[in-house]
Amino acid sequence: MEVVILIGLQGAGKSTFARTVLQPEPETWTYISKDLFPNNRRPARRQHVLLEEALREGRSALVDNTNPTKDDRADVIALGKQYGAEIIGYWFTANLKSCLKRNQQRSGRAQVPDVALFSTVKKLEPPAYSEGFDALFCVQTNRDLTFTVSPL
């Protein structure tokens, strides 16, 4: 059982990576993104409930959010460890300029205000094994929306 945590700016390619590279099987994985419950007043609590439900059922989970700080990741890691899951992190290194450009190409609710990216980049902390990760990878989003993955 695994808990995969995606970490990076909005527009860095996290959701595309999840969909095209990781391809979590719906039968054995739970995909969790705060984007799926935008009107929830307590999205972190909803995420915790969905993650715990998945782990209790023996399902792996993919947490697709910005997860910018150690504190943002701590609950996910602790809960995963509590259920004996392997904790895997993917750190997206896309720069602010490229993320702003990709965000502008989005439409509807998928596009976030630029200020959200500026806010996230200020608090973005690279993940570290000391947080409880069992494996960490660095993901570079290429211009053609392919990805280069290497150990962190």
For the segment 44-89, what is each residue's pLDDT rounded down to a tens digit? 888 899 999 999 999 999 999 999 999 999 999 999 999 999 999 9
According to DSSP, the β-strands at 135-141 and 60-64 are unpaired
HEC profile of the chain: CEEEEEECCCCCCHHHHHHHHHCCCCCCEEEECHHHCCCCCCHHHHHHHHHHHHHHCCCEEEEECCCCCHHHHHHHHHHHHHCCCEEEEEEECCCHHHHHHHHHCCCHHHCCCHHHHHHHHHHCCCCCHHHCCCEEEEEEECCCCCEEEEEC
pTM, two decimal places? 0.91
Between 30-39, 113-122, 126-135, the lowest mean confidence (pLDDT) is in 30-39
> CB 75: neighbour CB atoms within 10 A?
14
For the residues 28-37, what does the mean pLDDT come to? 84
- What's residue 102's pLDDT? 81
> What would be the CATH architecture of the domain defined by 1-149?
3-Layer(aba) Sandwich (3.40)
Domain boundaries, the chain: 1-149
